[in-house]
Structure 1
Amino acid sequence: MLPAAARLTSSADFRKVTRTGRRAGRPRLVVHAVTEPRQAGSTAEPEADLSAARTTATPKVGFVVSKAVGNAVVRHRVARRLRHMVRERVGTLPPGSALVVRALPSAAVATSAELGQDFDAAIRRLRLVDDGDRNSGGSGGGV
């Protein structure tokens, strides 16, 4: 299970990450990410909660698995796989970052390895990790 300190739980935080964060789409999932703020003077009240979360050292991750993915059994299975996969990789993410991982319908039939490959490719595309930082991923090649 993902540690409590690494969970994104507030609906306002989910909204902020999905609306203002950068996005990388893959065949089975979409990753939205907000990293440390670069301009400190332009914060509004809705961002105050998320910026407080970003000051902690642990990156925060949330998951969205809609009914389009499948019935409740399938959605929970996909969410468990995503949580397990991200738990192994949360230490490689930049401190203070916030991510929302949104599963697409094709995630229902994907293996855990395929979900892991898509997540790794998405965070590389978002430049959250370097290609050399992931030595335990198993994605097998450079992009």
Structure 2
Amino acid sequence: MLARPNRLTRGSDYKTVVRRGSRCAGAHTVTHVLASSETTAVRFGFIVSKQVGTAVVRNTVRRRLKAVCAAALPEVRPGTDVVIRALPAAASATFPQLRDEVHRCLRRAA
């Protein structure tokens, strides 16, 4: 689970990362990464819309993405904000598929 300092919570922060960050698209997710020169904690945000599926499916996808990001936390440079938007295909994706896709995008952005 991601600790409170490692989560994006304000809508304005999400908007800034999506508009100004670099974008990496995959089959199941779109990852936006905005790096800054500050040494603040790495923060992650997740967008899982109703297009992904029912509430149960959306929460499953969100939990999987949070687990992937918690594991990738040490690899991401401090001061980086990441927003991951799940596409409808994420509902049928396995955990390793999501993990590989997110790790690829985080490495590419670094």
Q: Please, what TM-score do these two structures have when normalized by structure 1?
A: 0.74
Larger radius of gyration: 1
Secondary structure of the residue aligned to 2:64 is helix
Matched, 1:5 2:11: no
Post-superposition offset of 1:55: 4.2
- In the TM superposition, structure 1's runs of 4+ consecutive aligned residues that sit over 4 Å from their partners are none
Matched, 1:28 2:28: yes
Q: What corresponds to 1:75 in structure 2? A: 58
Q: Aligned Cα RMSD in Å?
A: 1.0
Matched, 1:103 2:90: no
Post-superposition offset of 1:122: 1.1
Matched residues, number:
110
Q: What corresponds to 2:17 in structure 1? A: 17
Q: Please, what TM-score do these two structures have when normalized by structure 2?
A: 0.95
Within 2, Cα distance between the matches of 1:82 and 1:4? 16
Give, as a single letter, the amino acid of the residue that structure 2 aligns with 1:60: R
More strand by share: 2
Secondary structure of the residue aligned to 1:77 is helix
Post-superposition offset of 1:124: 2.1
Matched, 1:116 2:104: no
Within 1, Cα distance between the matches of 2:48 and 2:19? 17
CA deviation string 1:89-124 (max 9, x = no partner)? 111101000000111111001111000010011112
